[in-house]
């Protein structure tokens, strides 16, 4: 057998080992159903069916899973996880799939599995393709049912959520909903950051912390984020906090408003305003504003 054939066989064995180990975890730890997709599939290796209730019964709610096995998938680490590179074709397929899709990475050395939900908030465009940050905190264990189960809602639930936001959700509910989605997007853009969500404080609701190199040392930087659902509210906050007296920068994120309608940034930072939408339309504006915030923080640190 040639060297190339041996490498192909070894890769296949590692791939099968990953699928088998994840099947074991799903059935033994999560107590869900695991259905391998043995017929050639472009980007889905298995379906998971949620089992719930007492007595436990299949719910008909499914997740599609893309499984990647091997040490090579752990060669792009961050402080809080790993980058998983993927093609534009795969991303389009996963986002357009009839099921919610989860990527799972299997480490054959440690026999640990880590996962990430594929959506507009977790995908980062690299120019040549895309990448998804898979966090260390999302290891596949029995406790994963709490995080994975809500993702497996049926497709018929999606318009219901949109209708609920439009018709029934009050201002605080809409704000909390968008804060959670924005937190996921910020984590994808700044994978080494930590995000604190203040449940009981009116303002600010989110604080982002991360380490930044300053000269030969690492310096911790911090900025606050406030999500608003109207330009009027953004203008009120700018008037209140745009005096330049804040120690930490404030980024005001205005949901579902056009960039051209944004109020101007105050002449005295550190208050920055950006539009943002959960469907990713204004990710460029969000990224540009993040860069401005980080640049301001780095300049202040250098002065100190």
C-alpha 26: how far from chain center: 22
Q: Kindly list the structural domains of the chain, giving each domain's residue range(s) and its CATH number in brackets, ordered by start.
A: 3-153 (3.40.1350.10), 158-303 (no CATH)
CA 296/CA 123 separation, integer angstroms: 26
DSSP for 128-188, written as a single string: SSEEEEEETT-B-SGGGHHHHGGGG--TTHHHHHHHIIIII--HHHHHHHHHHHHHHHHHH
Q: What does the pLDDT look like over 180-213, one tens digit per residue?
A: 778 878 877 887 778 887 655 566 678 888 865 5
Q: What does the pLDDT look like over 111-132, one tens digit per residue?
A: 999 999 998 889 998 888 899 9
Overall pTM > 0.85: no
CA 147/CA 224 separation, integer angstroms: 26
**DSSP secondary-structure letter at 30?**
I
> 40: pLDDT confidence band, cut at 50, 70 and 90?
very low
* Ordered strands of the 130-135 beta sheet: 77-78, 81-86, 130-135, 123-125
Q: What does the pLDDT look like over 57-100, one tens digit per residue?
A: 888 888 999 999 999 999 878 989 999 999 888 888 888 787 88
167: how many CB neighbours lie within 10 A of its CB? Answer: 7
């Amino acid at each position: 057998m040639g060297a190339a054939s041996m490498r192909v066989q070894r890769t296949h064995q590692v791939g099968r080992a990953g699928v088998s180990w994840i099947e074991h975890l799903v059935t033994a730890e999560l107590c869900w159903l695991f259905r391998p997709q043995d017929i050639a599939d472009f980007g889905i290796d298995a379906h998971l069916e949620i089992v719930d209730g007492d007595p436990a019964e299949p719910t008909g709610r499914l997740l599609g899973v893309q499984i990647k096995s091997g040490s090579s998938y752990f060669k792009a680490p961050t402080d809080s996880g790993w980058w998983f590179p993927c093609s534009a074709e795969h991303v389009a397929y996963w986002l357009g799939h009839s099921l919610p899709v989860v990527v799972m990475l299997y480490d054959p050395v440690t026999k640990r599995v880590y996962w990430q939900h594929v959506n507009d908030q977790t995908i980062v465009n690299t120019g040549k393709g895309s990448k998804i940050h898979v966090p260390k905190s999302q290891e596949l264990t029995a406790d994963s049912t709490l995080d994975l189960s809500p993702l497996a809602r049926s497709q018929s639930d999606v318009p219901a959520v949109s209708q609920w936001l439009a018709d029934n959700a009050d201002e605080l509910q809409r704000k909390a909903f968008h804060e959670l989605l924005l937190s996921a997007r910020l984590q994808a853009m700044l994978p080494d950051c930590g995000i604190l969500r203040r449940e009981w404080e009116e303002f600010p609701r989110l604080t982002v912390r991360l380490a930044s190199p300053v000269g030969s040392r690492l310096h911790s930087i911090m900025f606050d984020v406030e999500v608003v659902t109207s330009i009027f509210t953004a203008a009120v906050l700018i008037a209140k906090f745009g005096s330049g007296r804040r120690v930490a920068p404030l980024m005001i994120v205005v949901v579902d408003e056009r960039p051209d309608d944004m109020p101007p940034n105050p002449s005295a930072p550190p208050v920055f305003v950006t539009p943002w939408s959960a469907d990713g339309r204004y990710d460029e504006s969000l990224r540009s504003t993040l860069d401005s915030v980080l640049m301001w923080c780095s300049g202040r640190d250098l002065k100190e």
